[in-house]
Amino acid sequence: MLPVDEKLKDFYQEIIRRNQGEPEFHQAVLEVLGSLGPVLAKHPELREHKVIERICEPERQVMFRVPWQDDKGTVWINRGFRVQFNSALGPYKGGLRFHSSVNLSVIKFLGFEQTFKNALTGMPIGGGKGGSDFDPKGHTDNEVMRFCQSFMTELYRHIGEYKDVPAGDIGVGAREIGFLFGQYKRITNRYESGVLTGKGLDWGGALVRKEATGYGLVFFMQEMLKARGQSFEGKTCVVSGSGNVSLYTIEKVQQLGGKVIACSDSGGYIYDENGIDLECVKQIKEVRRGRISEYSKSQPRCKYIAGGSIWDVPCDIALPCATQNELNGRDATSLVKNGCKFVAEGANMPTTPEGTKIFHDAGVAFGPGKAANAGGVATSALEMQQNASRDAWTFEYTEQRLADIMVGIHQRCYETAEEFGTPGNYVNGANISGFIKVARAMVALGLI
């Protein structure tokens, strides 16, 4: 990231003033502004059209009450969000997050990032994000169903296959998407498959969607390695989290010859020097919805470290796949000191600005989330394509499409970074390439 251009400093202060108490949103905007100085020098007309100012203001923000009852009949009130950030390239597209940490700032940062990420995929999708401060963890299936039905009873009026197409994110997997889709269908009396992605395979879902973000991340990292004449073969990897993105990141790393020696959840991390037994982790996380600490019970050679930082484990490649700001300056210093040379973000904004700077200064190849984890949304767009044509593609064909898309994203970032004078800087490459695509469309569509 470059220091923010003089011409944008006042504007950034205005962002802080107009969006008070939203630190995650400020951080995401600052990260993009840090790359845009050279773009403005080359395209002064974008200043006249106030494209940056427009891009930083969501087109629409919806906040709503979600009342629901638990199994004992107790009434609970949560808050629902949908931020429709930018539809210059297509219908709003982005996941729903159900987690206690969700607030407007978190949803706005995610929606802002999503706009550029979706542009980078080259597919016709705008950017949006939503969710709730409800956390499905610890609730029964019936409670989760009642919550999802109440959530959709408000959300349905704001979404549609040509309007806004939500998907999963933290806390929202196939179970939640099923309950949400069922309620949408019931309220609207329409079997509108294209309104949500991440659906089950029996009712409009697509092969590879579940694996897509993790696999896509690894395909992106494979290109980063190739650009430096290397491969996954024999490299040790640390993958944080043990949710959807992490599990399929681990799977693809293993298929490509890498060794994943640690993964985590919010309670702590496991370290297995012989390599993580993925089937065991899947049993715990996907089947039993359990805790990662249970792994060490069936794998005695493994160490479970409660709390602590997973980034203290020495590795060649680090793949943060849990949540925002999970890898800070101290963690980055520890990774660099222990010889880590490659980092790519499966989660959204998992590295703090200080962490990113440390990686760049140390010459670590660093792939930002908006490029490296774009395989999920890209495969969602492939799901929409299959829904629209009433078709279902094979696993092999869809995986190849995903791999091609990730190679394309890597190439776009790599070449753009070079063109704008910062070779090897994927942060600038991703920000500039995504920004220019959205900006051009916004100018072409007039002042809307």
Under rule CB under 6 A, which residues in 360-379 are in contact with ligand NDP? 373, 376
| Residue whose CB is less far from ligand NDP, 267 or 363 | 267
Q: Is 242 in the site for ligand NDP (CB under 6 A)?
A: yes
Contact stretch for ligand NDP (CB under 6 A) within 51-59, 167-175, 249-257, 413-421: 167-175
Rank residues 402 and 439 by Cβ distance to ligand NDP and give the closer one: 402
Alpha carbon distance 152, 331 (integer Å) = 39
Q: How near is the Cβ of 268 to ligand NDP at its closest, in Å?
A: 9
Closest CA to 234 of 271, 270, 264, 275: 275
User: What are the backbone dihedrals phi and psi of residue 149, each rounded to the nearest 5 degrees, phi first?
Assistant: -65, -40
Among 170, 281, 430, 438, binds ligand NDP (CB under 6 A): 170
> For 59-66, which contacts have Cβ atoms below 8 Å and span 24 or more sequence positions?
59/84, 59/85, 59/86, 59/87, 60/84, 60/158, 61/104, 61/108, 62/155, 62/158, 63/104, 64/154, 64/155, 65/154, 66/132, 66/134, 66/147, 66/150, 66/151, 66/154
In DSSP terms, which residues pair with 317 in a beta bridge? 237, 342
The string of DSSP codes covering 36-61 is HHHHHHH-THHHHTTHHHHHTS-SEE
Quick check: 102 binds ligand NDP (CB under 6 A)?
Answer: no
- Tell me which of 129, 199, 259, 341 is the catalytic residue: 129
Interface with ligand NDP (CB under 6 A), residue from 211, 326, 383, 399: 326
Active site residue 226: no
Interface mask (CB under 6 A) for ligand NDP, residues 190-229, using x and -? -----------------------x----------------
Measured distance between the N- and C-terminal CA atoms of the chain, rounded to whole angstroms: 30
Residue 149 binding ligand NDP, by CB under 6 A? no
Measured from the CB atom, is 126 or 241 closer to ligand NDP? 241
Candidate segments 229-237, 294-302, 319-327, 395-403, binder of ligand NDP by CB under 6 A: 319-327
Residue 373, sorted as left (phi over 0), alpha (psi -120 to 50) or beta, turns out to be: alpha
Query: Which positions touch ligand NDP (CB under 6 A)?
Result: 168-171, 213, 241-246, 264-267, 321-323, 326, 346-348, 373, 376
The residues annotated as belonging to the active site are 129
